[in-house]
Amino acid sequence: MKQPKENKPIAAPARVRNSSLLSASAVLLATIFFLWPAVYNGFPLLMADSMTYLADGIPVARAIFLHRFSEYYGMRSLIYSLGILPFHWNVTPWPITVFQSLLAAWVLWLVVRSFSTRHALRRYLILAALLSAFTSIAWYTCFIMPDILGPLTYLAFFLLFFARDSLSRAERVGLGFIAWWGITAHSTHLLLAAALFVLLVLFALFERRPFLRSLPALGEIAAALALAALAQLALYAFLDGKPSLNGQRAPYLTARVIADGPGRWYLDSHCATEHWAACGHLANVTDDADSFIWGDNAPFEIASDDEKSDYEAQDVPFFLATIRAYPRQQLERSATNFGQQLRAFGLYDFDSSEWTLGQFNATIPPSRSSYVRGREAHDALPLDALTTLQFWTVIISLLIIAGLTPLLWRRHSRGLPGLALVVFSMVVLNAFLTGVLSIVDERYQCRVIWLIPLLAAVFVLDWLEHRTAKRAVAA
């Protein structure tokens, strides 16, 4: 007797393909959401440092691929400059904004997917739209700066450690690449990523599940950190003959303690007996750390090449000598700077600059006319209104987190406290690192503050997921 044919699940592969297509479409739509500031402005957002990043890629590429070396490669991240070079080729920065928006949209999709199994696509698009409208994320994806890569690195660490089971191998590799590029893109990203890795190790040691189960995730994160450090060391050794994690850098620590006061007191009492680079520029010292380095007649700007080398070599020793001489006074000023930086997250860096405009002919000459027509070039962006909107968004987000924490914490979810650990530690440590060791600047905190509304949204998503599951069980 002829046996009937078995019904095979031939629809499963099609279902997987349709799901992947829908996910990709949602990520592309979110990418468009994140591009709105550049479209509204009429051009990607720039600042003086942006022009340096755009200019430095060519000489670095020329040295690596043609062995045509230069005497100077700049003080910014050369790997970020090299990474964005294929997207602009000194013609237009628009592809950079698209790429950065795509990276942000993809990482956010992985975060939402790790928390929401029901209606994930719809909730993801709503979240992306709200974040792009009410926070700074879209402004930083459209900003020709490596700032957006910092928070994306911290979220990549979260996903690799707390949501590893929700990721495919290809997704883990992609997140590893984003983390690697983000760490190399700015010296603060390296320090914050290293601090986050330590926190994750401590979390793994004290959580309930066996430590060995966390080793694969910790190994992937450690690999990203190690490869980023090795890439920096190898690149600077190749270009300058001297391994370095950040190449030439400005004396931020010196500028900080001098602007705070104790550094100036130390110079006044020790310049007669000790040789510090700043001793020759006391007449130009002000109480503003940024002006010490970049201002008109700034001590560092007017220094000779030899003096700049002295500034770099003496930066940490002078910082430590000042702390030893005036520990209480410097601690008080540092605490004040930290508090100010923690609260300073306005969108005030997107304004016009004569220096930026003057660099177009040497950097991206075909785009000069487009930039001039944009709102940023005419200081016509509503930065005050945007800052107020984000401020209240952060306040409401903190209230949501506080209100939902008692309801969600009792479920012993691993992912939610994990995301809270990553977000709050990075927001606080970012304020400490920049405010205490560099300068208080709205941009420094603004580039990470959108993580708090993201965390609040994930709290809401997790609450909705739990409520829907309870209704399904009850039915």
Q: 192 and 214 in one domain? A: yes
Tokens of 284: 């130009």
How many Å apart are CA 141 and CA 157, to the nearest integer? 19
Q: What is the pLDDT at residue 29? A: 97
Residue 76 confidence (pLDDT) above 90: no
Q: What is the DSSP letter of 3?
A: P
Q: 45: which strand partners?
A: 143
5 part of a folded domain: no
* Overall average pLDDT of the 71-82 stretch: 88
Q: 195 and 295 in one domain? A: no
372 part of a folded domain: yes
337 part of a folded domain: no
* Overall average pLDDT of the 140-158 stretch: 98
Q: What is the DSSP letter of 281?
A: G
Determine contact, residues 178/99, Cβ cutoff 8 Å. no
330 part of a folded domain: no
421 part of a folded domain: yes
Q: What is the pLDDT at residue 17? A: 57
Residue 2 confidence (pLDDT) above 80: no
Q: Which of 274, 293, 325 is the last residue of a domain?
A: 325
Burial class (CB in 10 A: 0-12, 13-18, 19+), 377: buried
Q: What is the pLDDT at residue 430? A: 97
| Percentage with pLDDT > 70 across the chain | 94
Tokens of 268: 């006044």
Determine contact, residues 175/157, Cβ cutoff 8 Å. no
Residue 436 confidence (pLDDT) above 70: yes
Q: 276 and 231 in one domain? A: no
Lowest mean pLDDT among 6-10, 19-23, 32-36, 343-347: 6-10
Q: 286 and 194 in one domain? A: no
427 part of a folded domain: yes
Residue 232 confidence (pLDDT) above 80: yes
> Where does the pLDDT of residue 11 fall: very low under 50, low under 70, confident under 90, or very high at 90 and above?
very low
Number of domains in the chain: 2
Q: 110 and 142 in one domain? A: yes
Q: Which of 293, 325, 357 is the last residue of a domain?
A: 325
Residue 98 confidence (pLDDT) above 90: yes
1 part of a folded domain: no
Q: 169 and 272 in one domain? A: no
* Overall average pLDDT of the 456-474 stretch: 80
11 part of a folded domain: no
Q: What is the pLDDT at residue 411? A: 64
Q: 139 and 49 in one domain? A: yes
Q: Give me the chain's average pLDDT, please.
A: 90
Q: 416 and 359 in one domain? A: yes
Range of the domain at 321: 252-325
Q: What is the pLDDT at residue 7? A: 46
Residue-wise pLDDT tens digits, 164-205 = 999 999 999 999 999 999 999 999 999 999 999 999 999 999
Query: Terminus-to-terminus CA distance in the chain, angstroms?
Result: 45
Q: 204 and 168 in one domain? A: yes
Residue 10 confidence (pLDDT) above 50: no
* 3-class DSSP state of 391: helix
Q: Which of 292, 325, 358 is the last residue of a domain?
A: 325
Residue 9 confidence (pLDDT) above 90: no
How many Å apart are CA 434 and CA 158, to the nearest integer? 22
Q: 143 and 78 in one domain? A: yes
Q: 187 and 111 in one domain? A: yes
Of 145, 202, 157, 131, the closest CA to residue 390 belongs to: 131
Q: 402 and 452 in one domain? A: yes
